[in-house]
Amino acid sequence: MIRMAMKNSPIVALVLTGSALLPAQQSQSDALELPVRELTAFKDGHAYVVREAALPPDAGGRVVLDELPQPVLGTFWPFATDGAEVVSARAGMEQVTVERAAVSLAEVAKANVGQPVSVELGNDQVLHGKLLGVAEQGGKVTLLRLETAAGIQVLPIGRVIGLLVGDGFRDGTASKQERARLELRVEGGGAAARVGIAYVQKGFRWIPGYRVELLDDGKARVRMQATLVNDLLDLEDVTVHLVVGVPKFAFADLVDPVALQRQAADVARARTYGQQQRFSNMLSNALMTQVGGPGQGGAPDASAAPDVSEGETREDLFVYPVAGVTLKKGERLVVPVATLELGYRDVYTLDVAMAPPMHYRRNLQDQRVFELAKELAAPKVVHVLRLNNGTDSPLTTAPALVLQGGQVLAQGHMKYTSPGGSVDLAINPAIDVRVEAAERERRRTPHVRINGDDYTRADLVGTIKLKNTKSEAIGLEVTRRILGLVDAVDHDGEHRQLDLVAAWGGRGRPTWWSWWSWPSWWFHSNGFGECRWSVNLEPGSEITLTANWHYFWR
């Protein structure tokens, strides 16, 4: 009987006994599977996996996993239920016999060394004799050694086109391999007792996506779907919990020693676990890039669609349960998660980039002048959808496809928004709103004394001219950031001074910031200013927004 080749991944055996460990030589044919009962998926690629099975009535079952878990340090927990108790867990290695099916003529020859055979060489030439052995090079059979009535003949495998083996035909080979083993010592337990393991491991993630359909009454129908990316293990009829939020795994970069991997040895040598961390999970709520991969095994049953339940809040996280997920390792699955109806309004925003002080620009080389001009080029007004989340569930960071009347308008970037909050979904530049931004120096005042030091004061004025050439009125929100101290803004605008964190927050520092070595007095005597306006523009109308500011230099 031909037996299929075993997987290359290690086998973990959980040996369950009433009061003592079963011998390692117990037959694997009596083993029970330890299937996944549920899985909690995080967007950063970690998953909390719970696997369990019924404890055999005689407490003599052997539970075999199809691969060795690689848990995050401190997250591996064996368990038992209904009166049973896990009193110890031991990981180690054992020798197992692995049978490999012969799938080529060369492998059939290797499996039947010592058998009487008939070797067909072509042109009706057939040799009869005993197959004494095979020669291999680089793991591949290259020669056959055949004992015939005429003597011993050595044949290149490439000449052999057929091989006839008698009644002793063997369809595979057996070899000894070292496999990992995990033995649990379990005490007690009744007929309903179950045993299992739970752990956190990287390899399964979910990628959210939104489809935003703009309706006629100031409403938007927001559909959310999830792409499940399974590079961890096979799932069959499993409940998968999709988590919205930012989980914290303090030891995400360390593998638990139970994995018996080289990385685990590093744990024992580390002085403190904290020294090993890179805190890679700080931005786990950021969008993860989808990576495709080949599916393994047969296609899942299309009639058994996953069932998504209404989400619920769990402490600082929000969870969508998806029942009935069947997904092979290497496969991807897209499932609808939720449909929300949100109110929205159209907003047009303009952000005028921060420019360096004028006296710094005079000594720039030609290439730097070009780069600065490119960065400060005419700013664009952006059309934004301001969505109000009046539901009980949060919006998560994800790509968002925006449609109206069945036509695609744009793809934007949805950001995390808690219930009751609002989010700006930027779609397209508003090319029908013209912008002209400028600034000029009004005057200079030398010999200004500050804390006993002599400075020159430069006063500047900046203007932003806007014209609405659209056929409808629009609401505009304009922001201008400057280096220096804001004196005044017109048209009922607002202004404030910012610290360095607020100045760069959400935008990143401008390219030109690293071109100069900023003296300490610049921060002591100046700062970062922000000017804001909110105006309405009727069709065909225009407005000029003005801000005045100053800075000191020496």
**pLDDT score, position 192:** 80
- Number of independent structural domains in the chain: 4
Q: How does strand 317-327 pair with strand 194-202?
A: unpaired
Q: What angle do CA 549, 553, 554 make, to 5 degrees?
A: 160
Q: Given pLDDT bands bounded at 50, 70 and 90, which one contains residue 75?
A: very high
For the stretch 44-74, pLDDT in tens is 999 999 998 887 666 554 566 656 788 999 9
Tell me the residue type at 89: A
Cα dihedral 491→496→497→502 (10° resolution): -110
Note whether residue 427 is domain-resident.
yes
Q: Are residues 442 and 543 in the same domain?
A: yes
For the stretch 321-346, pLDDT in tens is 999 999 999 999 999 999 999 999 99
The helix/strand/coil state of 19 is coil
**pLDDT score, position 443:** 93
Neighbours of 108 (CB within 10 A): 20
Note whether residue 303 is domain-resident.
yes
For the stretch 521-540, pLDDT in tens is 888 888 889 999 999 999 99
Closest CA to 478 of 421, 551, 536: 536
Q: What tokens were used for 328?
A: 């092979």
Q: What tokens were used for 30?
A: 């009596």
For the stretch 473-517, pLDDT in tens is 999 999 999 989 999 999 999 999 987 666 666 666 777 777 878
* Phi and psi based region of residue 248 (left: phi greater than 0; alpha: psi -120 to 50; beta: remaining): beta
The number of CA neighbours under 13 Å toward the Cβ of 139 is: 0
Q: In terms of residue numbers, what domain contains 266?
A: 1-102+171-202+252-280
Note whether residue 108 is domain-resident.
no
The answer to whether the beta carbons of residues 308 and 338 sit under 8 Å apart is yes
For the stretch 165-222, pLDDT in tens is 877 787 777 767 777 777 777 877 777 888 889 999 999 999 999 999 999 889 999 9
For the stretch 351-377, pLDDT in tens is 998 888 877 777 777 777 777 777 777
Q: Are residues 259 and 146 in the same domain?
A: no
The helix/strand/coil state of 259 is helix
Indicate if the pLDDT at residue 20 is higher than 50: no
What's the CA gap between 505 and 494, in Å, rounded? 19
The helix/strand/coil state of 109 is helix
**pLDDT score, position 189:** 73
**pLDDT score, position 22:** 37
Q: Are residues 263 and 401 in the same domain?
A: no
Q: Given pLDDT bands bounded at 50, 70 and 90, which one contains residue 432?
A: very high
Q: Are residues 338 and 483 in the same domain?
A: no
Q: Given pLDDT bands bounded at 50, 70 and 90, which one contains residue 289?
A: very low
**pLDDT score, position 500:** 67
Q: Are residues 8 and 157 in the same domain?
A: no
Lowest mean pLDDT among 65-79, 109-123, 152-166, 230-244: 65-79
Q: Are residues 224 and 318 in the same domain?
A: yes
Indicate if the pLDDT at residue 399 is higher than 80: yes
Q: Are residues 329 and 443 in the same domain?
A: no
Q: Given pLDDT bands bounded at 50, 70 and 90, which one contains residue 23?
A: very low
Question: Which one is predicted more confidently, 121 or 310?
Answer: 121
For residue 283, what is the enclosing H or E element?
none
What's the CA gap between 89 and 12, in Å, rounded? 12
The answer to whether the beta carbons of residues 306 and 206 sit under 8 Å apart is no
What's the CA gap between 294 and 230, in Å, rounded? 11
DSSP track, 371-418:
HHHHHTS----EEEEEEE--SSS-B-SEEEEEEETTEEEEEEEE--B-
Q: Are residues 500 and 353 in the same domain?
A: yes
Closest CA to 68 of 330, 197, 220, 259: 259
